[in-house]
Amino acid sequence: MSDKDKTHFGYREVDSDAKAGMVADVFHSVAARYDLMNDLMSAGIHRIWKRFTIELSGVRRGNAVLDIAGGTGDLAAKFADIVGADGRVVLADINASMLQVGRDKLLDHGRHANIEFVQADAQYLPFPDESFDCITIAFGLRNVTDKDLALRSMQRVLKPGGRLLVLEFSKPRNELLSRAYDTYSFRVLPLMGRLVAGDADSYQYLAESIRMHPDQDTLKDMMEDAGFARVEYHNMTGGIVAVHRGVKA
């Protein structure tokens, strides 16, 4: 079996074909408490990270926006307000449970007129070439089996001049912060997951998946290799999180 047939699920090496199902099991398990756990884990700061991503996106009225791994719809709801009735927002997620939670939440809040819900794999996006003005993926790329394939798929469905924004956990720049972050991730998060979501193992995986994700400069290189131009990134919270932005030439 070649190296291409293997990938990582957290710290474990697994068959590439098996990873998607394993990740699906994680998100089926946590979907119902996903929003609550996000607020608890980040002390609500994830809302600031997402707000900055939206501001950086340059989305305007009438645009078409694709939010990949959109989960419970935080970004999609904001984009729907910005693009207005003449615009289009597609909330896409590979996981049916997450997509259902997001759909139910947005419908309950009357946010559905210009939002479509699509179950889709980021590696094989089911949209025509040059369909979107902007694509976002927030805290989802690290769970994708083949990140390079997914980035090329995103580049394909963007219009020329369209933007991709990747919001993801990254590598803290300060050694003391990095150590404190490790302690929090591997001791506090699984305990919190057990107490709140009844699932310590899924949050152990999430902590490990963050450590296995490419650092800021590596992801920048990957986006450039996928055909994106003017790629830049902005560190937030000391580099615990970074948002990368690239443009389709």
**Which residues contribute to the annotated binding site for S-adenosyl-L-methionine?**
72, 93, 121-122
Q: Give the DSSP per-residue string, 144-184.
A: -S-HHHHHHHHHHHEEEEEEEEEEEE---SSHHHHHHHHHI
Q: Which phi and psi angles does 170 have, rounded to 5°?
A: -140, -150
Measured distance between the N- and C-terminal CA atoms of the chain, rounded to whole angstroms: 37
Rounded Cα distance between 239 and 243, Å, is 10
How far apart are alpha carbons 213 and 208 in whole angstroms?
A: 9
CB of 245 closer than 8 Å to CB of 56? yes
Q: Can you say which residues are annotated as belonging to the binding site?
A: 72, 93, 121-122
